[in-house]
Structure 1
Amino acid sequence: MTKYNWGMIGTGWIAHEMADALNDVNGEVYAVADVNKEMLAKFASEKNVKKTFTDANEMINDPAIDVIYIATPHTYHYQYIKAALEAGKHVFCEKAITVNAKQFDEVETLAKKKGLILTEGLTLYHMPVFDQVKKVIADGKLGDIKLVQVNFGSLKDYDPKNRFFNKDLAGGALLDIGGYATAFARTFLASKPNTTLTTVKFFETGVDEQSGIILKNDEEQLAVMALSMRAKQPKRGVVSGTKGYVEINNYPRATSAEITYTADAHEQANEILTAGDDTQALRYEVRDMQHYIDNGHDDGQLAISRDVAHILNDVRNAWGMKYPFD
């Protein structure tokens, strides 16, 4: 695997984890940018970063950098993705990759025009056990897939001033955690849904606190999702077919999946699939990103993210919820 010079924007908790992954897989972190000089210096010292920048755009334009990693609040993603692509850099951006579908379509088009890899940091795209589940489905062992059910509930402290509930910072459950649930659903649906039914409970700041979402595609497959920001739920996904169903717990970083066969309408002996290590999730991301760059294509991940971005847009439109920058 080729070694690449990564430049990181942001020094929050996920950036700390990504820096560890980069040091392990890539051998080093070339550069990091943050406006907070104290946090920047501390981060660079702890993670053995070669170069530091207080101006992210200055780092983006460093000719030695190959890949830009973005770990900022959602509202900054679009501008940094666009700047990085214009500068000829590959981009790995944390979810949600953009705050709306219009932004996504623009940066996807730009990445294709520039011949660059653009990838969204959703761990479930990279956990090895999903390859095993997909093979079981492709082999027909679950029959025709009919239904996907998926939950994600986070219990955030009550604080209207927190970014999770701030409409100006693209707060709300849908963009914070809904991308995981939607990506899980889209991964196991044969095509992008074209019907959306949904209801929502808004937080006092005007962002979505919790919601129920039903999606249907041309193949009449359904996805049923439940999201919440003030009530914990298990991160559980179920894919059901005419011959059985598979349950995947902690699906963002899943390492196992349990299959129950039901061909005669009764539950039969289970099969357990295991692969990967949840502590290695970001290392899988780094390996896959560098593999994409080496091979010049992303194995279809951006296409899934495109559908997710449009689904999230459709859901928000159904609610009538708009951000100031939409």
Structure 2
Amino acid sequence: MTDDNGGLRWGVVGTGGIAHSFVEGLRATPTARVTAVGSRTRERAEEFADAWGIPERHGSYADLAESPEVDAVYVATPHPWHHPNTLTCLNAGKHVLVEKPMAMNALQVAEMVAAARDNDRFLMEAMWTRYLPASRLVRDLVGDGAIGEVSWISAEFGSNVPYDPDHRIFNADLGGGALLDLGVYPLALASQYLGELTVVGATRQLSPDRMVDTHTTVLVRGENGGTGSLVCSSRTTLPNRAVLAGSGGWLEIPHFWAATGVVLHRDGREPEEFHRPFRANGYEYEAEEVARRVAAGERESPDMPWAESLRLARLTDRIRDMGGLVYSPATVKAVPLG
């Protein structure tokens, strides 16, 4: 199913900003190419395809899924459509990289995983952070014992977005809220280094219509006894860094979700700075991971396996439940917070 030079032929579902970023990153991968794009309208598909020189343009996602010129699909639609779009592509025999969060709740994620298994297709949540050179360095440093056993993690991701009820991040019908858009990054980091997480407590601030969270703080405890303080915000600009602390020192990761550098603080030593810039814009690394696993006949990535996506979905479900926010899979509507 791959093209002549051994790379994947990609189809892109959705034409928003992150779809443009993905295609930009993919261009740094010589063996990959984008052969098709699908949108809700033919006009949007044509505009995106013209911008990137993509040959196939489809006015529906289902049409793209049936294209014989596509091996793998990147799903870049708003959160509530991740589930149906992914099922459509998997059932059409395509491998799928789907944007985070993988779906609106754990039930939907479980259905997506089942479809990948039933169709013998690759499926991965696009947690691009885990494949960045700086993130791999952090993993290696922790694995080598540079800071001892990790016992505490702090991570925050916040940006001051002017309130607009029609903006996607404030619109409940589009799966809005700081937790799903931004909070998945701190949660994923804590899960990676603390193991299975228990939510000890959570607090939130709400949008003026009380339909979505705009600032959420979560305290977690890991299976190894470590703890974490995790914050996300759509109304406040935060320091936007992560700290992993252990028995022998700590790691500081500025802009940890898109990291290009790491500072290692070993007890009793001067700080050591490491720089790991992107080859393009960072999205190239997750695309290359998909290609590697597909070429090897594998159906999930060991760095972002299906079990991890299920674990993260259950976490966000639990955090939302604590605040009374419920997204309905059938109607993609949200119940107002109390």
Q: Do the structures match in fold with TM over 0.5?
A: yes
1:50-129 equivalent positions in 2, closer than 5 A: 50-129=55-134
The equivalent position to 2:26 in structure 1, one of 7, 10, 22, is 22
Structure 1 match to 2:184: 179
2:135 aligned residue (123, 130, 133):
130
Is the aligned partner of 1:317 residue 2:318?
no
C-alpha RMSD over aligned residues = 1.7
| Shift in alpha-carbon separation, 1:299–1:312, aligned structure 2, 3 A | same
1:88 Cα shift? 1.4
- Aligned partner letter, 2:65: I
1:304 aligned partner? 308
Shift, 1:27, TM fit: 4.6
CA shift, 1:273, in A, is 2.4
SS at match of 1:301: coil
Q: Using the TM superposition, give the Cα deviation of residue 8 of structure 1 relative to its aligned residue in structure 2, in angstroms.
A: 0.8
Which amino acid in the other structure matches residue 23 of structure 2? A
The runs of 4+ residues in structure 1 deviating greater than 6 Å are none
**Matches of 2:329 and 2:24, distance apart in 1:** 34
CA contact under 8 A between 2:25 and 2:280: conserved in structure 1?
Answer: no
CA distance in 2 between partners of 1:100 and 1:37 (Å): 30
Partner residue, 1:287: 288
Structure 1 residues 192, 179: closer, same or farther in 2, change over 3 A?
same
The answer for the alignment partner of 2:9 in structure 1 is 5
Question: Equivalent pairs: percent with the same residue?
Answer: 27
Give 1:237 shift: 0.5
State whether residues 124 and 184 of structure 1, in contact with CA within 8 Å, keep that contact through their aligned partners in structure 2. no
Instruction: Report deviation, 1:278.
Output: 7.0
Conservation of the 8 A alpha-carbon contact between 1:254 and 1:278: no
In structure 2, do the counterparts of structure 1 residues 92 and 38 end up closer, same or farther at CA, with 3 Å as the change threshold?
same
SS at match of 1:230: coil
What's the offset of the Cα at 1:23? 3.5
Task: Tell whether the 8 Å contact from 2:132 to 2:282 is kept in structure 1 after alignment.
Answer: yes
How far apart in 2 are the matches of 1:161 and 1:137? 42
Cα distance in 1 for partners of 2:290, 2:77 equals 19
CA distance in 1, matches of 2:202, 2:90: 35
- Supply the distance in 1 between the matched residues of 2:263 and 2:308 (Cα, whole angstroms): 24
User: For the Cα contact (< 8 Å) 1:98–1:309, is it kept in 2?
Assistant: yes
1:227 equivalent in structure 2: 232
Deviation for aligned residue 1:122: 2.2
Is contact 1:141–1:244 with CA below 8 Å preserved after alignment? yes
Change (3 A) 1:257 1:24: closer
Q: Secondary structure at the match of 1:260?
A: strand
Task: Using the TM superposition, give the Cα deviation of residue 64 of structure 1 relative to its aligned residue in structure 2, in angstroms.
Answer: 3.0
TM-score by length of 1: 0.93
The answer to whether residue 149 in structure 2 is matched with residue 148 in structure 1 is no
Distance 2:277 2:313 in 1: 27
Q: Which runs of 5+ in 2 are unaligned?
A: 331-338
Question: Could you tell me how far 1:11 is from its partner in structure 2?
Answer: 1.2
Equivalent residue for 2:336? none
Q: Distance in 1 between matches of 2:69 and 2:91?
A: 15
In 2, Cα distance between the equivalents of 1:180 and 1:46?
30
What residue in structure 2 maps to residue 269 of structure 1?
270
Equivalent pair of 1:2/1:290 in contact (CA under 8 Å): no
Identify unmatched segments of 5+ residues in structure 1.
Answer: none
Give the partner amino acid of 1:257.
V
The answer on whether the counterparts of 2:152 and 2:246 sit within 8 Å (CA) in structure 1 is yes
Residues 110-157 of structure 1: CA deviation (Å, up to 9, x unaligned): 212322211122221110122221122112221121101000102111
CA shift, 1:283, in A, is: 1.2
What residue in structure 1 maps to residue 334 of structure 2? Answer: none
The CA distance in 2 between the partners of 1:243 and 1:276, in whole Å, is: 27
Q: Is the 8 A contact 2:79 2:102 kept in 1?
A: yes
* TM-score when normalising by structure 2: 0.90
Q: How does 1:239-278 map to 2 (within 5 A)?
A: 239-262=244-267, 268-277=269-278
